[in-house]
Amino acid sequence: MEILLKINPPTATSQENKTAVVNGRMMHYKSAGAKATFRILTEALKPYAPKEPMDGPIRLKVIWMFPAGKSHKDGEWKLSRPDTDNLQKALKDVMTRLGFWVDDSRVCYELVMKMWADEPGIQISYGGLEDGRG
């Protein structure tokens, strides 16, 4: 399955979650930025949600394409934050909630890139794996 989300990729990640002590207990909550990221990704991915979630081993390829602007060229690698693992965490959590797969633990083969692009977006490719070689 191939999906191209024609959006500016969100830059707030789950790493920005907050912690507070309430009545002597530590509580964790999502930052406003993380909530916005989940909302943006959910709205963009909802039309692509399958009728049935995938199960078994899954491959996932994602290209995060951030707006190039004046100081970066189309296709140039993005060397700054956010980190790819933090971007992927939010994306996979949203895809799990929308039923793309049974659980994101099923993703066994993953390729992630982030770059600058004249046309920003998030390109997602996923599918099942036949054997342990990708």
CATH assignment, 2-12+33-128: 3.30.1330.70
109's enclosing H/E stretch is strand 107-117
Give the pLDDT confidence score for residue 67 in this predicted structure.
Answer: 97
pLDDT tens, position by position, 27-70: 655 678 888 999 999 999 999 999 999 999 999 999 999 999 99
Give the pLDDT confidence score for residue 104 in this predicted structure.
Answer: 97
Amino acid at 119: E
Question: Is the separation of the CB atoms in 58 and 128 below 8 Å?
Answer: yes
Domain boundaries of the chain, sorted by first residue:
2-12+33-128
DSSP string, 43-74: HHHGGG--SS-B-S-EEEEEEEEEE-TTTS-T
pLDDT tens, position by position, 88-99: 999 999 999 999
Give the pLDDT confidence score for residue 3 in this predicted structure.
Answer: 98
Tokens of 101: 């797969």
Give the pLDDT confidence score for residue 23 in this predicted structure.
Answer: 81
